Amino acid sequence: MKTGQTATEFFQEFDLYALHADYMKNEEILICMAEKKIPKQLVHSMFNCGKPPTVYQTLLRVVFSLTKITSRANRPNPNIMGWMEAA
């Protein structure tokens, strides 16, 4: 994934390249290639969540889920910030 690129943007581009290379029918190759291109912390999180995905669509769902969790965790909480300013 490129810096600042969303998971949706990444997988749209990734799927296009995979389609041109005729890899869309091979789950094992797709997963292996995707794991090499997505951020390492996401790969580690996938493996820490249990059995790693063996189906490409499952990998997509897991990555989208993890990126949503990460983006929510990195957003400032306005309630906490308001509380701190009021104190």
Segments making up each domain of the chain, as ranges: 7-86
pLDDT at site 84: 47
Q: Is the pLDDT of residue 16 over 70?
A: yes
Residue 70: is its pLDDT beyond 90? no
Q: Between 85 and 37, whose confidence is greater?
A: 37
pLDDT digits (tens, 9 = 90+) for 26-49: 999 999 999 999 989 888 888 887
> Is the pLDDT score of 78 beyond 70?
no
pLDDT at 75 over 60: no
Query: What is the token pair recorded at 72?
Result: 């929510």
Average pLDDT over the chain, rounded to whole? 82
pLDDT tier at 19, thresholds 50, 70, 90? very high
